[in-house]
Structure 1
Amino acid sequence: MQDYKESFLNYITAEKGLSVNTIQSYGRDLDRYLKHLELKGFQSPEEVTRQVIAGFLADLEKCGYAPNSLARQVASVRSFHKFLLRDGLSAVNPAQHLDTPRTPRMLPDVLSVQQVERLLDVVGSSTAIDLRDKAILELLYASGLRVSELISLEVSDVDLQAGLVRCLGKGSKERIVPVGSKAIASLKKYLAHGRHRLDKKSLQFSLFLNTRGSKLTRQGVWKILKKYVGFNFPEQFI
């Protein structure tokens, strides 16, 4: 049933405008699900029943999957079978009335205002990397941007005079985000004294660049966050 999976992934890529990471998560969930069906001898989605899916989820729970992971798996399976029914690839949808596991509501650990100020104070200002990192941390704190939104920013997306940033959120929806004065000041310093020293190719429109002059990646941003947050608060947040 791998062909069905590929058709589904092509559909959500073209029609839903989902991020690459979300599509990859769907793919991993469905690989796990289809492997289970294959081991059980199922060759067609019409052979699958609600009880079969419930058995699959029970097996995952026995393997130690957390409620959040199970809930995501249910969402993937439900979307998959809904797509098959809609496109006439199956006459039934066994996941239509599938129960979603309850997930515990837990408050995340967050940095206090004092901890954030301490974190921002530790970043230097002598190198282009320092200026970039300070601008990233200030912007994330001031705007609440997702990392995926941050790395997609181009220089033209920042209006320093108005204190606004234009970004593409989930589903490629554009939104305008107001930014505080400290973040704007850090962005001005980075653009005036740091970015051109990183832009070795002089071909990049991306706002934040790595040491090779290329667009900064998600992994690059997480390394920056781990570097500074881990240095200051290693036990609680890393």
Structure 2
Amino acid sequence: MTNDITFAQTLDGATLDSFLLYLEDMPNTAKTYKSCIKRFKLWLKDQPDAQQPTTNTVRRYKEDLTKRGYKPNTVHLYMVAIKQWFKWLESIGKYPNIAQYVKSGKVNRKSPKSYFEAAQVKEILDQIDQTTQAGKRDYALLVLLFTCGLRTI
């Protein structure tokens, strides 16, 4: 596929709406992708190759997101959305998939929050007056939260 089609032709609202219809079974994904793609389109308007973006354009966008202080998980999300959009554009013959060789970035899958130690849980629970109805309620709620995964307060 050649770049005979200008990218401006793919920027019309109808093309983005068609892509979002393609994602209709995933409404949350569609909403997220729409936001990511709109931001990319806004960024692209100020670029010298806005009419014919290339793989390097997508790489520059990724670098710009990082320079602006976006966290790695956010950069990854934006790149996944853009990659899926270009993949779809290529599948319907609108524009080549210029994003396919751009890495999405690393994702931090570790939870950034710490957890309570057993001694901390005991200390908190010991402070509740269990002789009152409110105390019994509070104790029960906190035990439930601690056993269901509450990590920090």
Amino acid at match of 2:36: D
Greater relative contact order (Cα 8 A, min sep 6): structure 1 or 2? 2
Q: For 1:79, which of 76, 81, 84 is the aligned residue? A: 84
Distance in structure 2 (CA, Å) of the matches to 1:39 and 1:112: 48
CA distance in 2, matches of 1:2, 1:43: 14
Q: Structure 1, residues 48-94: CA drift from partner, whole Å, max 9, x if none?
A: 1110111111111110011101111110010000000001112x111
8 Å CA contact retained: 2:23, 2:29: no
Match of 1:26 in 2: 33
Long gaps (5+) in structure 1: 125-133, 145-228
Alignment TM-score, normalising by the size of structure 2: 0.65
Identity %: 22
Q: Counterparts of 2:50 and 2:104 in 1: how far apart (Å)? A: 25
Unaligned runs of 5+ in 2: 1-10, 126-135
Alignment of 1:61-100 (within 5 A): 61-90=66-95, 92-100=96-104
Residues 84-120 of structure 1 show CA distances to partners (whole Å, capped at 9, x for unaligned) of 0001112x111111112122342353766976xx6x9
The residue type paired with residue 65 of structure 1 is: Y
- Aligned to 2:20, which of 4, 9, 12? 9
1:122 to 103, 124, 138: 138
Q: Which amino acid aligns with 2:26?
A: L
Tell me the TM-score normalized by structure 1: 0.44
Distance 1:62 1:108, change over 3 A: closer
Are positions 1:40 and 2:47 aligned together?
Answer: yes
Partner residue, 1:109: 113
User: When you count strand as a share of all residues, which structure comes out higher?
Assistant: 1
Shift in CA distance, 122/60, structure 1 to aligned 2, threshold 3 Å: same
| Matched pairs, number | 125
Larger radius of gyration: 2
* Cα distance change on mapping 1:104 and 1:43 into 2, 3 Å: closer
RMSD of the TM alignment (CA)? 3.3
Contact 2:86 2:98 in 1 (8 A): yes
Separation in 2 of the partners of 1:83 and 1:105?
Answer: 27
CA distance in 1, matches of 2:56, 2:107: 21
Structural mapping, 1:1-238, within 5 Å:
1-3=11-13, 4-13=15-24, 17-19=25-27, 21-40=28-47, 44=51, 47-90=52-95, 92-109=96-113, 121-122=137-138, 141=148, 236-237=152-153
